[in-house]
């Protein structure tokens, strides 16, 4: 039997806040290194700060990958193009609704907590999944950017749950 499989990915847009944070962190490390001229023991702090910055830097480069396989949807976070972590796995049969983010079917879910796994681009094809997740079974709206193939496969699995975008 053939599996229903589709994947999509998107790279998170670099925001002004992320760029400003990078600049501030680099300036702090440079100032700590320059302060070693006055106080020699600051060299240890400078090396630790530089090491921490080098270790944390890849976390500014975030990519999301969505994998759909036989009714299961995985949300993976890729940091720095290297480190992959599955942040969430859901069964689409457990979802209340899967629809484009501007759809009327999602109007009743505007007040619930949101997990944003998108590129943050204005013109992106963003969908929302209303589903119960976590230990306390809290209803959450998950935002993501699926491919057309992924939407078609999910719609064929759960036609009442999945709404296709009107072109």
In eight-state DSSP terms, residue 162 is B
Q: In what order do the strands lie in the sheet with 97-100?
A: 97-100, 127-133, 138-144, 114-116
Q: How confident is the model at residue 1 (pLDDT cuts 50, 70, 90)?
A: very low
| φ and ψ of 7, to 5 deg | -140, 155
Sole residue written with tokens 């209340």: 96
Give CA–CA dist 160/146, Å, rounded: 18
Whole-number mean pLDDT of the chain?
89
Question: CA-CA distances (angstroms) from residue 14 to 20, 59, 63, 95, 130?
Answer: 10, 12, 11, 30, 27
- Percentage of the chain lying above the pLDDT 90 cut: 55
Could you tell me the residue ranges of all domains in the chain?
5-12+63-157, 16-59
Class of domain 5-12+63-157: mainly beta
Reduce the DSSP state of residue 79 to 3 states and report it. Answer: strand
> What tens digit of pLDDT does each residue of 7-58 get?
999 999 988 998 998 899 889 888 888 888 777 777 788 888 888 888 888 8
Give CA–CA dist 106/141, Å, rounded: 9
- Percentage of the chain lying above the pLDDT 70 cut: 98
Q: How confident is the model at residue 141 (pLDDT cuts 50, 70, 90)?
A: very high
């Amino acid at each position: 039997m053939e599996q229903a499989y589709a994947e999509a990915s998107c790279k998170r847009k670099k925001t002004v806040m992320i760029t400003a944070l990078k600049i501030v962190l680099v300036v702090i490390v440079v100032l700590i290194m320059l302060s070693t001229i006055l106080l020699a023991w600051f060299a240890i702090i400078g090396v630790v700060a530089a090491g921490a910055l080098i270790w944390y830097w890849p976390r500014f480069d975030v990519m999301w990958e969505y994998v759909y396989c036989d009714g299961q949807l995985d949300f993976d976070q890729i940091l720095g193009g290297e480190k992959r972590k599955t942040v969430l796995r859901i069964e689409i049969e457990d979802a209340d609704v899967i629809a484009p983010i501007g759809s009327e079917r999602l109007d009743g879910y505007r007040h619930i907590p949101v997990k944003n796994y998108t590129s943050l681009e204005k013109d992106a094809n963003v969908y929302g999944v209303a589903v119960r997740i976590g230990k306390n079974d809290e209803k959450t709206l998950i935002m993501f950017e699926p491919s057309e193939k992924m939407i078609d496969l999910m719609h064929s699995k759960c036609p009442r749950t999945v709404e296709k975008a009107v072109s």
